Amino acid sequence: MIFSSKAEYGVRLMVELGRQNPEQPTSLKAIADAEGLPLAYLEQVVARLRRADLVMSARGAHGGYWLARDPAEISMFDVVAALEGTIAPMECFVHDTMERVVCSHEPYANRGPCATKLLWTRVQGGIVRSLQTTTLAELVEFARRSEREPQAEPELLSTKA
């Protein structure tokens, strides 16, 4: 599954906000400069994060953005879902009215369930679990640790459940 630049930039924006003093709003320009991201695109991304109640903002000379909740209370699922919508590993997975992701091939296959549904359901479950169990606080701490120890590597195969 490939997430769009919205998800990448949104996660980076959230990590940068998590690194800032929560009592002082941070300008979007400062975040764009710190992360090397396009300001105009960040404006679109932060608007989605505001609508999802993940960030707050204030206008004016001392305005800017800050996190709406403690970083430990914000999962990456919250962030990515706000930016990407339904997380589905294949285009044939569709969102139904029951808030489930189902295989679009099933209504047309008079032979029963789609042969690959088990695989893609497991892939989706793994992605969703990883996003749900990774908090913004973890990413902020990883970023801070990486500043101190440039060789820090993420845990690729976490058994966290």
Q: Which two tokens stand for residue 137?
A: 């606080």
pLDDT digits (tens, 9 = 90+) for 133-153: 999 999 999 999 888 876 656
- pLDDT digit string, tens, across residues 36-81: 999 999 999 999 999 999 999 999 888 899 999 999 999 999 999 9
Nearest-angstrom CA–CA distance, 14 and 145: 17
Q: Report residue 121's pLDDT band, with 50, 70 and 90 as the boundaries.
A: confident
- For helices 28-35 and 5-19, angle between their N-to-C axes, nearest 10 degrees: 110
- CA angle 53/54/55 to nearest 5° reads 95
Pairing status of strand 93-95 against strand 101-103: antiparallel
* Topology given in CATH for the domain delimited by 5-148: Arc Repressor Mutant, subunit A (1.10.10)
Beta bridge partner(s), residue 58: 64
Task: Give the integer Cα–Cα distance in Å for 131 and 14.
Answer: 14
Taking the domains of the chain in order of start, what are their residue ranges? 5-148
Dihedral sign for Cα atoms in the order 79, 77, 6, 85: negative
Query: What does R_g of the chain's alpha carbons equal in angstroms?
Result: 18
